[in-house]
A and B are shown apart, each in its own frame.
Chain A
Amino acid sequence: MLTGNLLWVLMGTMLLGIAAGITGTFSFLQKQSLVGDAAAHAALPGIALAFLLTGQKDLPILMLGAGITSALSVYCIQWIVSFSKMKADAAIGLVLTVFFGVGVVFLTVVNHSPLGNQSGLNNFIFGKAATMTKADLTWLFLSATIIIIVSLLFYKEWKLLIFDPMYAKGIGLPIEALKATLTVLIVMTIVTGIQSVGVILMSALLIIPAVSAKLWTRKLSSMLVVSAVIGGVSGIVGTFISSTRTGLSTGPLIVLVAAAIFFLSYLFSPAGQMYKYFRKKQFRKQGEVG
C-alpha cells in the first residue's frame, strides 16, 4: 500500500505543509492572511492560460503562469487600496472573485479544447497529490526547500518589519524590499501547493497552522516551529487519507486535518478554552475559601 511513489508524495506534501506553516505565520502576523487567499484563487487563470499558450501540462510552466497571475492579484489589491478610497477587505473580495472568475472561464475553454479532456487541469482546483509525477515532485521539493531556507534567512528582518516597520525604516532596513520578498515567498508557497492542495483551499494551509500555533506559544521562533509541524502533519495525513480512498481530493482532506488540529489547540492549548475554564473554577474556589 505504501508504495515508493506514495512515500515521495507524502514527503512532498509534508515539506509543502512545513513551508506553508512558516510563510503563513509571517503573513498571519502581518494581517495579510486574506491577501494570501486572494493570491491562491488568482493562481487559476495563470494555470489555465499557461496551458492554453503552451498546450502542455508541464508543471514548471503552469507554476510560472500561476505565479504571475497570483503576484499580479497581490499588486492589484495594493494598488486599489493606495489609489482609491476602497478598504482592504473590499479590494481583496473584488480581486479574488474577478481573478477566480476569469480562471473558471479559461478553464472551461481548456476543457472544451481538443487537448482539454486529458489535461486534468480540474485537479488544480481542489488538488490531487496522487497525480503527481516524479518530475512534479522534484519541482515541489526544490521550491519548498527554497522557501524554508529563505524564510529562516529573513527571520530577524521580517520580525522587525512586521512588528514595527517605522523603526525598521529608521535603522536603515530596506523595508520595501523586505515586504516584496515576503510577498514573493507567499506566492511561491501558493504556487508550490497548487497541484497537491489546489487553488481554492491553499490559503487554509497558510492560515490554519499559524492561528493554531499562536494558541500554543508567545514567542515567534517557537510559533514558527509549531506552525511548521502542524502544516507538515496536515500535509502527510491529508495526503495519506486521500491516496487510500481514491476519489477524494487532497486539498479538502489536508484542510480537515489542519482544522481538527486547530480545534484540539483551541480546547487544550494554554490559551485555549479548557485551561481558561479550570482557571476560572480554581479562582472561584479560592474566592469561596478566602
Chain B
Amino acid sequence: MNALTVENLSVAYDKKTVLENANVTVPSGRLTAIIGPNGAGKSTFLKAILNQLPNKVGKVEILGKLFDPKSLVVGYVPQRNAVDWDFPTNALDIVLMGRYGHTGLFKRPSKQDKLLAKQALESVGMQDFAQRSIGQLSGGQQQRVFLARALAQNANIYFLDEPFAGVDAATEKTIIDILKSLREQGKSIFVVHHDLQTVKEYFDYTILLNKTILASGATEEVFTPEQLQKTYGGKLFMMQDMLGANSLC
C-alpha cells in the first residue's frame, strides 16, 4: 500500500499560489526527505497534506484513505518555534498530549496513557527531564519532547517539520535513530529537511520540491546533481563551490 498519494494539490495564500499542481506517490515503510530551497513551500506541502489549510484543492490520500484526523494514524511534529515554550507545563505533560486523541473528550488520561507517555519520553532519552518545565529545556530537548509526543500517539505515519533545525549533534543522532527504528517497524516517515549533506545518509526516499514536486523516488535515483540543479537553480552552484564540487552527491 502507498503511504501517501497526492494528486493535483495546489495551495494559495492571499491569491498567491505557493504550491501548484503537486503530484507524488510514496510507498509505505520509507523514510522520506522533503527538500527544496527556502520558500519552496515545504511546510505548506506538509500542512496541506494534514488538512491544516483552508485554501487548497486536490486530492490527498494517506494509507489509501482520505485523511481523517480522528483515525490518529498520522503523528505530526511541528516546527519547534510554532509554539510558545513559555506555556506553564512540564515535559511529561506535553508528551501526554500525544494520548489525548485516544483518551477522548473530557476524560482524564488513564494510568496506561501516563505509562505510554513515560515510555515515549524514555525512548528519546528525556526520562530525567519529565518534571522539568518546558521553558527550561534546550532547543534539542524541546525537539525530543515533540518527537516523544508523536511517538506516544502510536501513529502509523509520521510527518516532521524541520526536526533538525537548531538542535545539537546528540539530539540529531537520537532523532534519526528513532526514525530509522520506526521504519524497521514498517511505519512511514516524512521529514522536511534542510541539510543536503545528510540526505543520502539518513533517507531512502526523497521528494524534491520547489513550488511543485519536481522529482520523487529512491534517494540514489533522485538525489543527483541534475535534479538538485533543477530544484535549487543557481543557489546550488554557490553551495557546491563552498563545499567542494561533488561533495553532495
Contact = CB atoms under 8 A, between A and B. Distances in A.
19 contacts: A156-B106, A156-B108, A159-B97, A160-B100, A164-B78, A164-B83, A166-B78, A167-B76, A169-B51, A170-B69, A171-B72, A171-B100, A172-B69, A173-B101, A218-B89, A218-B90, A219-B88, A220-B87, A223-B88
A157 B108 CA distance: 10
Contacts, number: 77
B246 interface: no
A41 interface: no
B123 to A, nearest CB: 19
A1 interface: no
Contact of B105 (A157, A170, A219): A157
Q: By DSSP majority rule, is chain A's interface helix, strand, loop, or mixed? A: helix
A156 B82 CA distance: 20
A112 B101 CA distance: 57
Interface in A125-158: 153-154, 156-157
Interface in B147-169: 149, 153
B76 A166 contact: yes
Given A166-B82, A172-B72, A156 B100 contact: yes
Contacts of A172: 68-72, 101
Contacts of B97: 159-160, 163-164, 167
A111 to B, nearest CB: 45
B87 A163 contact: yes
B137 to A, nearest CB: 12
Nearest to A153: B106
A61 interface: no
Given A159-B89, A163-B87, A219-B88, A169 B68 contact: no
Nearest to B51: A169
- Classify chain A's interface size: 20 to 34
Contact of B69 (A159, A171, A218): A171
B52 interface: yes
A170 B52 contact: yes
Given A153-B106, A163-B97, A164-B82, A170 B74 contact: yes
Contacts of A164: 78, 82-83, 97
A166 B47 CA distance: 9
Contacts of B74: 170
B52 A169 contact: yes
A219 B90 contact: yes
Given A153-B106, A157-B106, A160-B100, A29 B153 contact: no
Interface in B109-124: 109
B88 A218 contact: yes
A219 B90 CA distance: 7
Interface string B70-100: 1110101010001110011110011001001
B70 A220 contact: no
Contacts of A171: 69-70, 72, 100-101, 153
B222 interface: no
Contact of A173 (B51, B52, B100, B109): B100
